[in-house]
Amino acid sequence: MTDEQTPAEDMPFETDDASQEVEALKLEVAQLKEQALRYAAEAENTKRRAEREMNDARAYAIQKFARDLLGAADNLARATAHSPKDSTDAAVKNFIIGVEMTEKELQGAFERNGLKKIDPAPGEKFDPHLHQAVTEQPSTEVAAGGVISVLQAGYELMGRLVRPAMVAVAAKGSTGPAAPESSSAGSNPYAGAGADGEGSGGAFDTKA
């Protein structure tokens, strides 16, 4: 046997060393993959948190301004609702058109900035997260717990309630068709949330 030849009995030791090295490399790769996934998840969470904080800051910045404009929106809505649309006076007609266009433009500005109107249709299920029950009335057109009419529209800003819609609700014993269920209403339709989304929304106890 020459010096260049490797004894046969030495081969298993070299094979074992190579196998251990491969296993160590596999373990290191697995650890690096896990670390990379963890960093990616942390980066995504940071991005989402930053977006949420930015939206919160934006909503907070315009919330007071939005509240101040709601009075103007209410007055415009009342003006258009009670305007003499059947008038034959050209000046009156043009004035009404101008008021309606102003109201439409204001609502468009609200929508573009995330301020959405809450105006439930008659018969819609009372939603304590969005509505405030001001009065209850018996009804033959709306089932108990349904909205009869809107006394004042509500608004929400980027999913947060700024002002609940003031509504008249059908009292217990009303014989109208069943109101459609609201996705956000709880099991007790009169145990509601207020303008901060956490307290009572002016709910009341209905009596038969």
Beta strands, E only, 7-146:
115-118, 131-137
3-class secondary-structure state, position 205: coil
Task: Encode pLDDT of 11-25 as tens digits.
Answer: 555 667 778 888 888
Task: Encode pLDDT of 30-51 as tens digits.
Answer: 999 999 999 999 999 999 999 8
pLDDT for residue 109 is more than 60: yes
Contact call for residues 150 and 170 (beta carbons, < 8 A): no
3-class secondary-structure state, position 167: strand
The reported pTM is 0.57
pLDDT for residue 169 is more than 90: yes
93 contacts: CB under 8 Å, gap ≥ 6: 87
Contact call for residues 124 and 158 (beta carbons, < 8 A): no
**pLDDT score of 198:** 40
Query: Rounded mean pLDDT of 65-85?
Result: 89
Q: Average model confidence (pLDDT) for the chain?
A: 80
Q: What is the DSSP letter of 66?
A: H
Query: Rounded mean pLDDT of 184-202?
Result: 39
Query: Rounded mean pLDDT of 162-185?
Result: 77
Q: What are residue 136's DSSP bridge partners?
A: 169
Q: Could you identify the residue written with the tokens 């009342």?
A: 78
**pLDDT score of 5:** 55
**pLDDT score of 155:** 94
Alpha carbon distance 54, 43 (integer Å) = 16
Q: Give 3-state DSSP helix, strand, coil % of the chain, rounded to 5.
A: 45, 15, 35
Domains recognised in the chain with CATH numbers: 11-113 (3.90.20), 116-208 (2.30.22.10)
